[in-house]
Amino acid sequence: MLGPTVFAMALADFTLVLIYSVPCSVECATPLCFAMAFAGFTKVLKHLDDHEVVLSATGVTRPGDYHYIKGEGMPHFNDELRKGDLWVQYSVAFPASLTDSQRQAIKELLGDIPTAPPNQ
């Protein structure tokens, strides 16, 4: 999180947080499925005023990665043409389990999965 929270609200696809330490900036958390995080995605985020913000990535998105969008935050007090910024933080939903064929496909794609040494 960018700073102290003043206001937080859970919406359908994301959680919105207004940030006190960065005037008019907004942070939101949005989930990605494993496939989207691994292979890239395009996702539409509906803002509080119902306009759409397109989020996309072509590479791997790790849990906790941020996407910064200038000018997509809240309007400044007494100056609605000037807006803060939007910070989107991604979470990744990993599957609870994999079938043997899914596990084999991942091994073929990524190569052998290293075996960690036992804890000592």
Residue type, 110: L
Q: Where are the domains of the chain?
A: 5-110
- CA gap 6, 8 in Å, rounded: 7
Q: Tell me: the pLDDT tens digits for 30-74?
A: 889 988 998 999 988 887 777 888 999 999 999 999 999 898 887
pTM (2 d.p.) = 0.68
Q: 7: how many CB neighbours lie within 10 A of its CB?
A: 11
**Residue 39 parent element (H or E):** helix 34-39
The superfamily (CATH) of domain 5-110 is Urease metallochaperone UreE, N-terminal domain (2.60.260.20)
Tens digits of residue pLDDT in 90-111: 999 888 898 999 888 888 887 7
CA atoms of 95 and 35, how far apart (whole Å)? 10
